[in-house]
Amino acid sequence: MSIAAKCVIISGLSGAGKSTALRILEDRGFYVVDNLPPVMLPSLLDTLSSNNAAETWGVAAVVDARGEKVIGELEKSFESIESTGVKTELVFLEAADEALVRRYEETRRRHPLGEGVTIIEGITRERAELSALKKKASIVIDTSDFNVSDFRSSLMAQLGMNEYPFTVIVSSFGFKNGIPRDCDYMFDTRFLPNPNYVYELKPLSGRDIEVQKYLDRIPEKQVFMKHLVSFMEFILKHYENTGKKQLHVAVGCTGGRHRSVAVAEQLSKIISDTGLRTAINHRDIDMEDR
């Protein structure tokens, strides 16, 4: 039976970023669970023994560990999981009182310890209740001065994991089949002559060298690629600084088999040659009706 690659238990002060940490690990590929009773952790890992995300990346769970009984249950679950050979980390998140108060005021939430408790009173009581758990944590992160990007970098580094490199996804599609809804930039190649109407090229695709050579002989295509590459060089120079982890560029033609595929292939190679990580996807290349 396979086991999870890693188990990350996230706890700490309310408002310190537990939900954000869970989203970061979900984006990294983890199977995530929010607000799980500690006693259920071992059975969760048993249930996920054949789950691809859990086996490849790991399981991450936010645990609300207020109260001595709950902390005791968490300790037992922690030991039980480690005995199976799964590498387990307890991450404790905290922040300064001022930062927590500001976050509660911005979200207009009351402290989860209950009604009739001021925010600062709730923070003080919770900090005292969780002090023993903090001492047991393998990783303690103070999120007071972090934005999401800083938090992600710190969490990944302390878990001994590299962040995903910035990735440029280049996809091709056919306008007749609908435009992709998740792209950041879209380019239209329907102004180019269509190889679909050239007898010997019709059964081929933009991946084939014959189609690529046909399009390369068209002066307008050369001019288009020059401007497209120049635009992408400008965009990519600044895009990583936004904190986003990927950029999706879509190239379309009528059916999504010839022109858009050839241009997407060429653009992906040019970007890859600069050292950036690329992924390519031809959405409509195998659609029968053209």
pTM over 0.85: no
- Taken in order 82, 86, 87, 91, the sign of the CA dihedral is negative
User: What single string gives the DSSP state of each residue in 218-271?
Assistant: -HHHHHHHHHHHHHHHHHHHHHGGGT-SEEEEEEEESSSSSHHHHHHHHHHHHH
Quick one: which of 61, 26, 35 has its CA closest to 47? 61
Mean pLDDT by 10 residues, the chain (290 residues): 78 91 89 87 84 84 72 82 86 92 82 76 88 89 88 88 80 94 94 96 96 97 97 87 82 96 96 90 79
Q: How far apart are CA 93 and CA 84, in angstroms?
A: 26
Query: Per the CATH hierarchy, to which homologous superfamily does domain 7-158 belong?
Result: P-loop containing nucleotide triphosphate hydrolases (3.40.50.300)
Q: Do 281 and 234 form a contact (C-beta atoms < 8 A)?
A: no
For residue 250, the cross-strand partners are: 171, 186
> Could you tell me the two tokens for 4?
């999870």
pLDDT digits (tens, 9 = 90+) for 123-157: 898 888 888 889 888 999 999 988 888 888 889 88
User: What single string gives the DSSP state of each residue in 29-79?
Assistant: T-EEESS--GGGHHHHHHHTTT-HHHHHT-EEEE----SHHHHHHHHHHHH
Helices (H) and strands (E) in the chain, counts: 11, 9
Quick one: which of 276, 281, 247, 246 has its CA closest to 264? 281
Q: How far apart are CA 5 and CA 279, in angstroms?
A: 25
Query: Residue 254 to residues 173, 192, 195, 223: CA-CA distances in angstroms?
Result: 8, 10, 11, 20
Q: How far apart are CA 246 and CA 276, in angstroms?
A: 11
Domain spans in the chain, listed from the N-terminal domain onward: 7-158, 167-282
pLDDT in the model for residue 73 = 82
